[in-house]
Structure 1
Amino acid sequence: MRRNLLPVLALLLGTLFLFLGNGLHGLLLPVRGSAEGYSNEILGLLGTSWATGFVLGCFFAPKLVMRVGHVRAFSSFISLIAIIALLTGIQVDQYWWVVLRAVTGFCTAGTSMIIESWLNERATNESRGMIFSFYISITLIGVVGGQMLVPLGDPSTTILFMFCGIFYCLAMLPTTLSTAATPQPLKSVSLDLRSLYRNSPISFVGILLIGIANGAYGTLGAVFGARAGLSPTTIAVMMSLTIFVGAMMQFPAGKLSDTTDRRYVLAALSGIAALAAVILALVQPHDAYVLIGFVALYGAAANALYPIAVAHANDFARADDFVKVSGGLLLLFGIGTIIGPTLGGPVMTQLGPYALFAVTATSHGLLTTYAIYRSRLRPAVPAGERDYVPKIPVGAAPTSTPESLNLDPRAAPLTDVAETEPASQEN
Structure 2
Amino acid sequence: MWTAIKSISSLLLSYGLLLLGNGMMGILLGLRSRIEGFSTEITGLIMSGYFIGMLVGALFAVRVIATVGHVRAFAALASLLSVAVLAHVLIVDPVAWFVLRVMAGFCMSGMVMVVESWVNERSTNAMRGRILSLYMITNYLGAGLGQFMMLIGDPAEYQLFIIASMVYSFALVPVLLSRASAPKPSSPQRMPFKDLFLTSPVGVMGTICAGVANASLNGMGAVFAREIGLSVAQVSTFMAMTILGGIALQFPIGRLSDRFDRRSVLIGASVFTALLAQAALWATDQPFIILVLIITAYGGFAFVVYPISSSQVNDLADPDRLVQVASGLLIAYGIGASMGPILAAQAMARFGADGFLYFLTGIYCFLALFILVRMTQRRRAVRPKAPFLPLGSMGTSSKQLYTAALSDSGQKEEDTH
- Aligning the two structures, in what range does the TM-score lie when normalised by the shorter sequence? over 0.9
The residue type equivalent to 2:65 in the other structure is: V
Q: Determine the structure 2 residue equivalent to 1:411.
A: 407
Q: Deviations over 1:246-286 (max 9, x none)?
A: 21011221121112211111111111111222344578535
Q: Does 1:319 align with 2:315?
A: no
Deviation, 1:94, is: 2.6
CA drift of 1:413 comes to 8.3
* Contact residue 58 and residue 330 of structure 2 kept, 8 A: no
Note if 1:57 corresponds to 2:60: no
| SS across alignment from 2:377 | coil
TM-superposition CA deviations, 1:172-199 (whole Å, max 9, x none):
0111122222211132252521111111
Give the aligned residue type for 1:405.
Y
Shift of 1:294: 3.1
- Structure 2 counterpart of 1:171, which letter? A
Q: What is the match of residue 138 of structure 2?
A: 138
Residues 71-110 of structure 1 mapped to structure 2, 5 A cutoff: 71-110=71-110
Please state how far the C-alpha of 1:378 moved relative to its aligned partner. Answer: 2.3
The answer to whether 1:36 aligns with 2:36 is yes
Q: Partners of 2:228 and 2:389 in 1: how far apart?
A: 37
Residue in 2 aligned with 1:329?
329
Task: Provide the C-alpha distance between the structure 2 equivalents of 1:46 and 1:266, rounded to a whole number of angstroms.
Answer: 31
Decide whether aligned partners of structure 1 residues 380 and 2 sit closer, same or farther in structure 2, where only a CA change above 3 A counts.
same
Aligned 8 A contact 1:125 1:414 in 2: no
**4+ residue stretches of structure 1 with deviation over 6 A?**
none
Task: Give the aligned partner of residue 305 of structure 1.
Answer: 305
Equivalent in the alignment of 1:121: 121
TM-score of the aligned structures, taking structure 2 as reference length: 0.93
In 1, the alpha carbon distance for the partners of 2:198 and 2:32 equals 44
Give the corresponding residue for 1:14: 14
Structure 1 stretch displaced more, 330-339 or 113-122: 113-122
Amino acid at match of 1:61: A
The alpha-carbon distance between structure 1 residues 300 and 131, as it changes in their structure 2 partners (threshold 3 A), is: closer
**397, 402, 421: which one aligns with 2:399:** 402
Tell me the number of residue pairs that the alignment of Structure 1 and Structure 2 aligns.
Answer: 411
Deviation at 1:412, TM superposition (A): 5.2
Identity %: 34
| Corresponding residue of 1:425 | none
RMSD: 2.1
Cα displacement (A) at 1:69: 2.2
Q: How does 1:251-330 map to 2 (within 5 A)?
A: 251-281=251-281, 285=285, 287-330=287-330
Distance in 2 separating the partners of 1:83 and 1:414: 43
Whole-angstrom distance in 1 between the partners of 2:191 and 2:177: 34
Q: Residues 81 and 104 of structure 1 are in contact (CA less than 8 Å); yes or no, is this contact kept in structure 2?
A: yes
User: Deviation at 1:291?
Assistant: 2.8
Aligned 8 A contact 1:216 1:359 in 2: no
Whole-angstrom distance in 2 between the partners of 1:283 and 1:233: 18
Matches within 5 A, 1:123-202: 123-202=123-202
Name the one with the larger helix percent: 2
Q: What are structure 1's unaligned runs of at least 5 residues?
A: 416-427
Report the CA distance between 1:25 and its aligned residue: 1.2
State the 1:112 CA deviation: 0.8
User: What is the SS of the residue equivalent to 1:185?
Assistant: coil
Mapped partners of 1:153, 1:274: distance in 2? 34
| 1:362 alignment counterpart | 362
Letter in 2 for 1:158: Y
Give the TM-score taking structure 1 as reference length.
Answer: 0.91
Query: What amino acid sits opposite 1:190 in the alignment?
Result: R
1:330 shift after superposition? 2.0
Give me the whole-angstrom Cα distance separating, in 1, the residues matched to 2:137 and 2:279: 31
Paired amino acid for 1:324: Q
Q: C-alpha separation between the residues in 1 aligned to 2:365 and 2:285?
A: 21
Q: Which residue of 1 aligns with 2:231?
A: 231
User: What secondary structure does 1:230 align onto?
Assistant: coil
Query: C-alpha offsets along residues 201-259 of structure 1, whole Å, 9 cap, x if unaligned?
Result: 11111211221122222211101011111111111111111111221011221121112
Q: Which residue of 1 aligns with 2:415?
A: none
- Structure 1 residues 85 and 189: CA distance shift in structure 2, 3 A: farther
Q: Tell me: CA distance 1:401–1:388, structure 2 relative to 1, closer, same or farther (3 Å).
A: closer
Q: Distance in 2 between matches of 1:313 and 1:238?
A: 32
Cα separation, partners in 2 of 1:91 and 1:361, compared to 1, 3 Å: same
Asked if 2 retains the 8 angstrom alpha-carbon contact of 1:220 and 1:341, the reply is yes
Choose 336-345 or 271-280, whichever is displaced more. Answer: 271-280
